[in-house]
Structure 1
């Protein structure tokens, strides 16, 4: 490598260190502002012409948000509608009803896996808390459960929700990585599913069986348990109070409605799976049908992320208005509220896209490629490691994913299995070592009434297991790439 290549790598190292410092120091700079400041400074230090630098920032942010922003907004609205209509409750309760104690952790993991398809980690956990608390309280009353029943049922939910949030589209992080790495969306979903299933099993029900007896004293606040498990549906005001009490930083407010219980389970499952099925059908059509086939053209169009999420949203909208009879004005307020919760995520994604574009336009991306080739470092391992370090130090999985995507993007040429596996690895890396600077850590800690040590043994360990197991599965499948 030339001296200029080494200089560009030094700039990248300093840029990452500066990003970490700005976010975590006493300055507590917002991640979006930190990303933009570091992006501009990196471009200037790398020698990118000033008349092109602003264009790189705008193209990077605009291009990334153009690919991801609309899909993310539709996904947020879909998740909120499903929650408000009682559809997610119907899915969860159908899976755990009339089950044995031994099967319950597995069924909670399945419920969280299904519910986690359209929902962020924090939102999905809040949706599942009434179910987890109700069943755990029943187990507690019956006796005979080794350790805390709240840990026994909570850990599988944490494992499933975090796995989907980090490793599977249409969640914003993986979807951003799919765009940045030019990976095939359908193939990535298939690969992500293959990697996710054993990961959830080992980090969820299996680990729960081991850790629950070692944390016998974990129990949420009695008033909180009563509020989430009281007879009948809660009013909107009561639900807001309950969610605020456990939400912590970054949690989204959830509203329950009186008519939510009227949603049939079959319709609830359909609403959750509509976008996923459409995206998978697109991949099958592109793999099995000729380019001139009209069926392929239709399935390709309906499988576009924006179209698929729109179809799921419209289905959920019909489900909400027709089955539950909610007033149109109330539905519109819910949709508006759901968009407020993702504004920060959209800004961070845009800032990460700008950072990625400047890395490419300034030549730093080529320097990374040269260094990786010289060090013979596996690109999947590199992507995982960079995402892990950035996510751990900045407290944002989104920052970890979008920044790591920009760093490893020059190492991938075209799509294919390797690109899809890299998406999974980067997403898995962003989940590891989830600790006190992550909003999800505090949500779990306060929801289940844990101290720091107990929260570390659950939230931190579970997400680190998910991260390592996800990397392991990606490396295993890379043998066939």
Structure 2
């Protein structure tokens, strides 16, 4: 480590401090603006020529948005189509239609796992709230539930949605990390699923069973429950019917009817089309010869952009065929879906610009040299950087894109298992310690009528469990591989 390398590391630390201050100060500077400002300042301080600095910013933002932005936009529109058409309702209700109280948390986590594939955490939770509130209210009316039924069913949904959002493509964070680390898509999906399943089980139904009795007084606002369940009766205001409808699960079904007539099979297919295309690509690259035309076709179809486009077109066709919905209404809905991700797109672009400046100014090489000298496990390093930046900036996306740019020089451009495990670890790190400067924290707190302490025991605790368990699974696979 030369004196110049130490100066570059000091420059990076100052840059991070300024970034955190700008985002969290009373000015509440937008993360995109803060990232661009810090990128310019860091590049100038590191001695990058002014002419090259502007090129670095443009190249970094453009390449990142080219890789991730189009896929993200299509994913947002796909999620909106599925929500508006009632496809997500059909999936959720099919899963919980016939179940006992003991099985409900497991079935809710299954519904959230499927629905969360194409949806952001916040969107997926909003989609699931009517189901969670309706079933929880019925459980509350019947009595006999150990603790708050809203916590019992809400925690599994939170665990599944945040795990998918942070650790599995085609969500923007993992997709950004995968691109920056040159990780293989199929291998990353496989590794992510292996890490996600035990993580969701422990942080979801298992933790829910433990925490629900300790938060027995958690109950959403009665007006909100009535709005989501489509009834005027506040939760718990009267007893359940003395003669429940016939059928093993009928007593839980009268308040949770799907909103639209999309067949369940087509609803599931709409969600799984992008993932299926990406998995077929991975299979083709594993078993088919490089000269095979089928391999070329499946490789093209499994590109994240093409796969997401295929899923979107499939869902659009299902919607148009099964619903008599005006085209103008569909277009307006899709336009609204893009508004919700515009800020994320800008943050991703700003993060890409910052990362490119780090590389072109030589800071990335200095970080690589320091990390090698300190003998820090690269998987732990990526997880820790993402965790700290997500905590201090309030943005998981900032944590992911910054951590990716910092650790990318440590693994080269060869991809492989280490790169895929690092994608999972960085995504898991970005989820931990989710607290008051994260939008998801407030969504959970206000939706479930919690105070700060209760929200910390649910949202913060669940996402931190997911973060630590995701890191543990990545390290375990790195040892076993």
TM range, smaller chain: over 0.9
2-structure distance, mates of 1:195, 1:65? 27
Q: Alpha-carbon deviation of 1:140?
A: 0.5
Aligned-CA RMSD value: 1.1
Alignment of 1:271-420 (within 5 A): 271-413=270-412, 414-420=414-420
Q: Deviations over 1:332-351 (max 9, x none)?
A: 11111100111000000000
Contact 1:84 1:260 in 2 (8 A): no
Q: Alpha-carbon deviation of 1:261?
A: 2.0
Aligned equivalent of 2:237:
none
2-structure distance, mates of 1:291, 1:386? 38
Runs of 4+ in 1 over 4 A off after TM superposition: none
Aligned equivalent of 1:472:
472
2-structure distance, mates of 1:141, 1:443? 25
Alignment of 1:3-82 (within 5 A): 3-82=3-82
Aligned equivalent of 1:263:
262
Q: Deviations over 1:234-289 (max 9, x none)?
A: xxxxxxxxxxxxxxxxxxxxxxxx99420011100000000000001101100111
1-structure distance, mates of 2:202, 2:480? 23
Q: Deviations over 1:428-473 (max 9, x none)?
A: 0000000000000000000000000000000000000000000000
1-structure distance, mates of 2:182, 2:358? 17
2-structure distance, mates of 1:10, 1:126? 42
Q: Alpha-carbon deviation of 1:8?
A: 0.7
2-structure distance, mates of 1:298, 1:90? 32
Is 1:130 the counterpart of 2:130? The answer is yes
2-structure distance, mates of 1:450, 1:260? 28
2-structure distance, mates of 1:324, 1:99? 29
TM-score by length of 1: 0.94
C-alpha spacing 1:174/1:370, structure 2 compared with 1 (3 Å): same
Aligned equivalent of 1:188:
188
Three-state SS of the structure 1 residue aligned to 2:137 is: helix
2-structure distance, mates of 1:231, 1:390? 43
1-structure distance, mates of 2:475, 2:321? 47
Contact 2:96 2:107 in 1 (8 A): yes
Gaps of 5+ in 2: 233-256
Three-state SS of the structure 2 residue aligned to 1:170 is: coil
Contact 1:132 1:150 in 2 (8 A): yes
Contact 1:432 1:466 in 2 (8 A): yes
Q: Alpha-carbon deviation of 1:27?
A: 1.9
Is 1:448 the counterpart of 2:448? The answer is yes
1-structure distance, mates of 2:55, 2:118? 33
TM-score by length of 2: 0.94
Contact 1:167 1:174 in 2 (8 A): yes
Three-state SS of the structure 1 residue aligned to 2:346 is: helix
Alignment of 1:59-208 (within 5 A): 59-208=59-208
Contact 1:260 1:324 in 2 (8 A): no
2-structure distance, mates of 1:265, 1:35? 43
Aligned length: 456
Q: Alpha-carbon deviation of 1:294?
A: 1.0
Three-state SS of the structure 2 residue aligned to 1:48 is: coil
Contact 2:78 2:315 in 1 (8 A): yes
2-structure distance, mates of 1:325, 1:172? 32
Gaps of 5+ in 1: 233-257
2-structure distance, mates of 1:410, 1:98? 51
C-alpha spacing 1:287/1:444, structure 2 compared with 1 (3 Å): same
